A and B are shown apart, each in its own frame.
Chain A
Amino acid sequence: MPNDPEVAAAPGAAVDARFEATYHQLKRLAHARLRDGGRDVLLDTTGLVHETYLKLGQQAALQFPDNAHFLSYAGRVMRSVIVDLVRQRRSERHGGDLRRVTMTGEVMERLGLPGSEDHILGVHEALQDMAKLDERMARVVELRYFAGLSDLEIARALGITDRTVRRDWAHARLFLVDALG
């Protein structure tokens, strides 16, 4: 899409237009993020992208000069979506509202491995701390881990070289594994 200053002027339309254009891209990304293998997933890809869109749609003041920025932002949103979902599941399981009935055995059986949720939240919170020291590195991780972009895509989204991306990632993974214990 060409650089369109008019689009920036009408925020709602900006998101809509960008969303349409990158819908398939986002879907592909989301699908790639969630490993498949015969078991149910947290959200199917359509749901993830739509939920992303819902939240994006709420941001009235958004302005996207082009797809790269949009993707970068979409990555951020996907992260929040996933984290929210995971958190909610955990709080339910740990008995947030008394009104909710205790789980039957059946339901318990089909719940997910706690480890996965911990991992996601762990990365999320580590990134928060990382961002205070190195915003760009945190962004690289976010786009890679949550949004599943390739190095080249990350580079374009952030406006840096893919060499920088690789370097950031090489460091980041060490810091993260260290932080996650």
Chain B
Amino acid sequence: MPACFWWTRWAERGAADVGQGMPGSRFDYSPGQWATLRRLLDEALALGAQEQQAWLASLDDAARELKPTLARLLAAASRPGIAALDTLPKVETDQFAAAPGRSAEELPAHGRSLGPYRLLRELGQGGMATVWLAERTDMLQARQVALKLPHGAWRMAGLAERMAREREILAGLEHPHIARLYDAGVSAEGQPYLALEWVDGVPIDRFVREGGLSVAACLALMLQVCEAVAYAHAHLVVHRDLKPGNILVTAAGQVRLLDFGIAKLLVNEAGGALQATQEGARALTPDYAAPEQLLGRPVGTAADVYALGVVLFELLTGQRPHHLALGSGQNLADALAQRAPVRASDVVVDPQRRRALRGDLDTILAKAMKPLPAERYATVQALSDDLQRHLQHQPVLARPDRLGYRLRRFARRNRLAVGAGGLAAAAIVLGAGLALWQAREAGLQRDAALLAQRQAEQQTALARRAEQAAEAQADMVGFVLADLSNDRSQADMRQQMERAVVSVRAQYRDNSFLRARLLMDIAERLRWFSDFEKANQLFAEAEPLLRAHGDAAPLARLLCIRARDVAFDGRFERAASLISEAAAELSRMPGDTARAQSACLIEEAAVARLRGDLRRAVAATEQARLLEEQTGLAESEDHAETLQSLARAYHQSGRYREAADTARAGMALRSRLGRDHTPGMMNAQAQLATSLREGGRPLDALQLHEALAAGSAGREIAVGPRRYQHAAALVSAGRLAQAAPLLVQLLADARLRNDRTEVRAITILQIQLMLDSGATVEAQAKLQEAEQLYAALLAGKRYAARLLLFARAQVGLAAGDLPGAEAALRDARELIQATAQPDDPSWRVAHRLQARLYLLRGEAQPALDSAEAALRLSRQQAVNPQASLCIAEDLLLRAQVHRLRGDQPQAQADARLAAQHARDAAGAEHPVTRQAQALAV
């Protein structure tokens, strides 16, 4: 058990420190002796004192060696010290009491000594500490210092150790704009102290305000600040508590930064949050603290960048960009959610100042204060450089704030369905240590939660405003989650989700309405990571709550998702009824249901697809797309997902051109939304590549795959299926030598993962490759493997089994086993007939194979009919009807048939056209190109 282990280590830590006068151990018994002692004690303690003596005397030989010990032990019962064991003795102290309030005796007083310092006068009091002007008395020259004395709970043991550690680093910061830390220690009375360089200056905001400084002057000061912070960062020290109060300016106009890293010294990670629960204590000034800091996440130099942004904003506009009003009893998550980004130029009144701020400075500030650390300036130096550029009238490097733009756009949409959940979800995903930052006042006020409920019931102006803020935040959530999934592994994300679930259950224990919505939110995201089991658990948990509250939109979504899941199991009736139920829920709901409806249409399409009804799948998805475009939902990531679904639906129907176009539209949309390196984008690109390949453009597909591979190097994002598509593109493009080893590797990986679908697909592709290379014997062997893999699907007459039958037929044709090929082909046609629709792309394959069969049999007319049937389909399905490998293949086939018929001119014409197609779509080296060229002469 981990806990046990930890404790033991802990206990060992102090083992070396044995004080004077401590007795030696009396526990040096062997296990055998110990057991015996205990048994004997049992006996003895059952007797009275007198009887014990007799008993002792009568101990037999075996126990005799223990007799003195026993005597001693029994005697111990009457020693005075025995009572002392009943409870901890008291230990006196004068200043160790960690009382929340401060009594008079505890405060240091003028003239008192503290360590080597003599206190002169009190300079000020903060939430954490009192600062005194003090003099160092043990040096030749008395030096004046600012002595910072943490009070309250900070005056506890353990601080000395921390201080010593950090002292080295902080004392080493020597910079003209940084106030030195001279010393840190703990006095004999247990009072920790920090001795800082005494700076005679005023806080920078006061300096700017009272001096009426111009923009340029403010920036010049800021550059000094940046210099100092950058220096510290170079020494691996993060300030963590930058604010005007810590940035002093001397009369000479020189900046001095205080308290570098002090916040870290004094704040134990867990203690920081805990501190806030005590009266009068505030570990951080929330207005300047970066979101990740407030939520207890790891803090890096980006947090300082953020704070600098806030400070600069304040200097330039006279106001803070946002106020975090925690005092009213909101919890942190809600408070953070109320902060919307503000443009500096928007808040100033003076037109001259506004002109000066608009544009570059707005952009610089926005970039410094991005909620996500990764989106800010990477270094303070970068911020400083941009400020310099602005001062020198050069273009700055920061780009305009698209997030602000996007948020305003999104505020127009009605996201009632996810709105309330988005509020807290953002905070949950950003940080794990939430729920501890509660207001000082006792009792939780649930304003935000009640508001969310009210907005479901009635549309008041207040509710609408909160709703808009929630909408904006909800979109931020989506971005945040998608962003996180870029830089983290899927395992990290899943863990993050787990923590989110726990937090939701704890924090919204008493609010089932919000809890249900949040759990829905998380569950839907879990599906992105294919964690269906966990997602279903959450759905099951949320459903009764949603029903109880009559929360129609998320309930409808839940039902639709469930519909898809049961459809996956083949229970189409059940799926259909779930969808109707969902539709009924939606119709009952007042207000705008577009998003929920669209989501349900997507699920309906998925069900249809599983049923094999591709037409319905396409139709439903097209409906969803249209609905979204008409209701203004089109500039969103959800719409990009809809486009993705549509592209997939087209693709499965063999409408490759439309599939490619739709995939491109999705990619363009994502790019506009700034979602360029997300898994969603990669999926869209992969879909495009696949459609290009199937639609007869293997070279284009290959190019795209290569770009994708380069782009996602080093990232762990669902790579498997994409690599398979890449391999398929290689095979299509005739790059057999390249494809072969890749397939071997993919097969091994897929087997390792026990991904049977992928193993099957790879095996089929390998057969294709072998046939294309003319390795018929190997292909036959592979086919045997495939037979095993597909046995169950074949027996179940599943659509997927057609691939096996095609492979059988192809191998048969190559090996000269025409009856075998014929049988396989017949079975394949039967299967497709039963499970697919007339325009299913598989028909083309069937026709081609049929044509080849007839060709080998020498039956010209049937061969021609089949070849033409295939050609018709490949023309229909081609992405580029002027240049398609599929058309080339079918033309080549027809050419061969014409040659069989003895119609040489027609054969050559077809072959020439085939060569043209093939050259453009697949390159001059492609086997089809060469074969066609050979036939053309």
Contacts and interface: CB of A to CB of B under 8 A. Distances in A.
B23 A122 contact: yes
A112 to B, nearest CB: 3
Interface string A137-172: 000000001101000000000000000000100110
A34 B87 CA distance: 7
Contact of A10 (B42, B84, B91, B502): B502
A68 interface: no
Contact of B11 (A80, A102, A110): A80
Given A6-B501, A44-B99, A175 B185 contact: no
B491 interface: no
A58 B85 contact: no
A177 B216 CA distance: 76
B187 interface: yes
A63 to B, nearest CB: 7
B72 interface: yes
Interface string A85-110: 11111111100010111111001001
Contact of B115 (A86, A99, A118, A126): A99
Contacts of A125: 18, 22, 25
Nearest to B500: A10
Contacts of A89: 91, 93, 157, 190
B506 A35 contact: no
Contacts of B98: 43-44, 46-47, 50-51
B490 interface: no
A66 to B, nearest CB: 13
Interface in A109-137: 110-113, 115-123, 125-126, 128-130, 132-134
Interface stretch (B75-83, B606-614, B922-930): B75-83
A41 B91 contact: yes
Interface in A25-75: 32-35, 37, 39-44, 46-47, 50-51, 53-54, 57-59, 61-63, 73
Nearest to A123: B85
Nearest to B137: A101
Interface string B267-278: 011110010001
A14 B99 CA distance: 27
Contacts of A84: 14, 157-158
Interface string B41-60: 11001000000000000000
Contacts of A7: 502
A32 B116 CA distance: 38
Interface residues of A, number: 91
A134 B97 CA distance: 36
B84 A44 contact: no
Nearest to A42: B91
Interface stretch (B26-34, B624-632, B691-699): B26-34
A86 B96 CA distance: 11
A35 B90 contact: yes
A14 B153 CA distance: 24
A90 to B, nearest CB: 6
A101 B94 contact: no
Among A16, A41, A80, A102, the one with the most B-chain Cβ atoms within 10 Å of its Cβ is A16
B271 to A, nearest CB: 5
A174 B84 CA distance: 12
Interface stretch (B431-439, B447-455, B707-715, B849-857): B431-439
Interface in B174-197: 183, 185-190
Contacts of A176: 85
Given A44-B98, A57-B270, A179-B25, A117 B91 contact: yes
B55 to A, nearest CB: 15
A76 B506 CA distance: 26
A73 B274 contact: no
A177 B22 contact: no
Interface in B1-49: 2-3, 6-7, 10-11, 14-15, 17-19, 21-23, 25-29, 31, 34, 38, 41-42, 45
A87 B6 CA distance: 20
B41 A53 contact: no
Contact of A146 (B3, B28, B88, B113): B88
Contact of A175 (B7, B18, B27, B436): B27
Contact of B97 (A47, A76, A86, A107): A47
A132 to B, nearest CB: 7
B466 interface: no
B19 A180 contact: no
B186 to A, nearest CB: 7
A126 B25 contact: yes
A177 to B, nearest CB: 4
A14 B100 CA distance: 26
A7 B398 CA distance: 43
* B3, B160, B432 pick with most chain A CB within 10 angstroms: B3
Contacts of B274: 50, 53-54, 57
Give the residue among B27, B160, B187, B498 with the most A Cβ atoms within 10 A: B27
B908 to A, nearest CB: 70
B91 A112 contact: yes
B187 to A, nearest CB: 6
Contact of B89 (A87, A107, A111, A119): A119
A159 B370 CA distance: 52
Contacts of B21: 118
Contact of A145 (B17, B88, B115, B506): B88
A24 interface: no
Nearest to B12: A128
Contacts of B683: none
B90 A128 contact: no
Interface in A1-27: 6-7, 9-10, 12-14, 16-17
A177 B505 contact: no
B74 A174 contact: yes
Given A13-B502, A103-B188, A34 B90 contact: yes
A66 B324 CA distance: 36
Contact of A92 (B2, B79, B97, B188): B188
A173 B268 CA distance: 37
B569 interface: no
A12 B116 CA distance: 41
Contacts of B190: 89, 92
A83 B85 CA distance: 15
Contacts of A42: 90-91, 93, 96
A33 to B, nearest CB: 5
Contact of A148 (B25, B87, B99, B501): B87
Contact of A134 (B26, B34, B90): B34
Contacts of A120: 88-89, 91
B498 A10 contact: yes
Most chain A CB neighbours (cut-off 10 Å) among B11, B82, B90, B99: B90
Contact of A87 (B17, B96, B99, B432): B17
B270 A58 contact: yes
Contacts of A17: 502, 506
B92 interface: yes
Given A12-B432, A50-B153, A50-B274, A174 B73 contact: yes
Contact of B92 (A44, A85, A111, A173): A111
A174 B27 contact: no
B253 to A, nearest CB: 36
10 contacts: A35-B87, A47-B98, A62-B3, A63-B3, A111-B92, A116-B91, A118-B21, A121-B22, A125-B25, A148-B87
Interface of B: 2-3, 6-7, 10-11, 14-15, 17-19, 21-23, 25-29, 31, 34, 38, 41-42, 45, 72-74, 76-77, 79, 81-82, 84-85, 87-94, 96-100, 113, 115-116, 153, 156-158, 160, 183, 185-190, 268-271, 274, 278, 432-433, 435-436, 498-499, 501-503, 505-506
Nearest 5 CB-CB pairs, A to B? A57-B270, A112-B92, A47-B98, A129-B27, A179-B26
Given A6-B502, A51-B158, A179-B23, 14 more contacts: A10-B501, A16-B435, A43-B96, A47-B98, A57-B270, A62-B2, A62-B3, A83-B14, A89-B91, A99-B115, A104-B113, A118-B22, A133-B29, A148-B88
